[in-house]
Amino acid sequence: MREKARIQRVLSLIDVIWQQQPDVRFNQLISNLQHMYSAQNEGYGKRIMKEQNFLGKEVDVSYLDLFYLEDTEWEAFLETIIAKGNRG
């Protein structure tokens, strides 16, 4: 069973980050954080697939899938974001 206390810790970290940028919508914040995590971790979670564009041509598209990212890793990442924000 996963540790219940992690929930409040992660939510508190997100709260701190969101308070630093209150004009950002919640899902926009989470999406931005996911992209930052992926970029800092060798493209973790990046999935590439094929899709047809409006001309019927097959093109590559990508999306992020952080489903398997452990909460401890996400929590550590959020802590680094806060630390960087406090230095800058």
Q: What is the pLDDT of residue 63?
A: 95
- Which two structure tokens, joined as six digits, stand for 82? 């806060």
The pLDDT tens digits of the residues spanning 37-56 come to 999 999 999 999 999 999 99
For residue 41, report the phi and psi dihedrals to the nearest 5 degrees: -130, 50
Q: How confident is the model at residue 65 (pLDDT cuts 50, 70, 90)?
A: very high
Instruction: Give domain limits for the chain.
Output: 5-87
Q: How many CB atoms lie within 10 A of CB 33?
A: 19
The pLDDT tens digits of the residues spanning 8-30 come to 999 999 999 999 999 999 999 99
Q: What is the pLDDT of residue 87?
A: 72
